[in-house]
A and B are shown apart, each in its own frame.
Chain A
Amino acid sequence: MAACIPALGRAPVMPARHTLTLPGWEIRIAAPDRIAAVLAPLLTPLSAAEPLPPLEVTVAEDRLATGAVDDRVLWSVTLPETGWLPLLLGQVTATGAALLRRLLFIHAGAVTIDGRAWIVVGKSGAGKTSTVAVLVRQGAAYLTDEITLLDPEAATALPFPLPMAVKPWTAQAVGTLPRGAEVAREGGVRFYLPAARAAGAAPVEGFVLLRPDGGGLAPLSRAELLMVLGEQQHSSLRYAHRLEDAFAGFSHLLRVARCYVLAAPSPAAAAELIVAAARCT
């Protein structure tokens, strides 16, 4: 399960064409304009809740993309003609998450309801994005779509407002998207940033695991939810240097949270059940 961030060699020297100075994180992009001009606006809403070292993202004309920190190449991937944007964006944001030293991250969507964070967990295709979209449309504030940042000491979830990746089937399931703006579109995926976003950290109130089987909303044991987090392909538990503190941190967070498993016939039904749980103290 654990992996270190491998170094692949020295970073190629290319002039940075775009430098994004985000709160806590500088991202320098050296890429053809057709790529940099699309990637940069997607990253602009982000802020790193703990300071991260600058990331150099380079995309050569042959579509070979690399990510480097302190002149060490951390990843290298050839971008496809179609679907390159989700891949590149995922590499950049996953790098940011992997560089965290104190905060934890999991693969999950998250919103705040009445100022408290609800974290939506599930496998790819389980309906996380569509559930988050409907929750925001119904009045929740957007925290994140893919990567949820967690402060284990404060037991809070922090904003990581990457635009939602709305795939065609997601759009069909959601219907009307929440108020917001489309930031980019590539390979059939719309990158959509909701207008209603959480301003800061919110106390973690609940975790909801989306599952296709069963019916309705039911309590889930905290131990079972921790096992689910341990199975995720993208979480702090995947990094050897974070393993022990991530285990302790997630355990601590779960002790103060409510945990549910949810199977609903539609994102609207799922959102309704989550809101009902949030308002039932």
Chain B
Amino acid sequence: MSAPFLAAELDGEVVLLDVAKARLIHLDSAARRVWEACEGRTTAEMTATLGGPEQHLAESLRSLADAGVLWEEDGRWRRASLRWVGPR
């Protein structure tokens, strides 16, 4: 079974392809940091890891969750599985 998302890295930014919805999602460098750091962490742990205002982080997480690329489970963030295309 193929991954629900494909990912391509372009100049430090990431573009995700949501295969089921046939749409692209752009993660700029700031969104990418949040997305990469979230796996298995709580929002509070991420705030400690990434720094910056917690409200900004929460908005970024919510935006990524709305796009379907991550979700919160038992207070911890999980990333959707994906397959990278091309070099990273």
- Encode contact with B along A230-248: 1 for CB under 8 Å, 0 otherwise: 1000000100100110011
Pair A251/B10 contact, Cβ less than 8 Å: yes
Within 8 A of A (CB), among B17-61: 17, 19, 21-24, 26, 28
Pair B19/A226 contact, Cβ less than 8 Å: no
Chain B residues contacting A2 (CB-CB under 8 Å) are: 22
Interface presence of A222 (CB below 8 A) = yes
The listed residue with most A CB atoms (<10 A of its CB), out of B6, B17, B23, B87, is: B17
Chain B residues contacting A248 (CB-CB under 8 Å) are: 6, 8, 85-86
Partner pick for A252 among B13, B23, B24, B86, CB 8 A cutoff: B86
CA of A244 to CA of B87, assembled, Å: 16
CA of A230 to CA of B21, assembled, Å: 12
CA of A227 to CA of B13, assembled, Å: 12
CA of A243 to CA of B86, assembled, Å: 16
Chain A contact patch, size range: 10 to 19
Chain B contact patch, size range: 10 to 19
Pair B10/A223 contact, Cβ less than 8 Å: yes
CA of A255 to CA of B86, assembled, Å: 9
By beta carbon, the residue of chain B nearest A222 is B10
Chain B residues contacting A221 (CB-CB under 8 Å) are: 10-11, 13
Within 8 A of B (CB), among A1-52: 1-2
A: residues with CB less than 8 A from B are: 1-2, 221-224, 226-227, 230, 237, 240, 243-244, 247-248, 251-252, 254-255
B: residues with CB less than 8 A from A are: 2, 6, 8, 10-11, 13-15, 17, 19, 21-24, 26, 28, 85-87
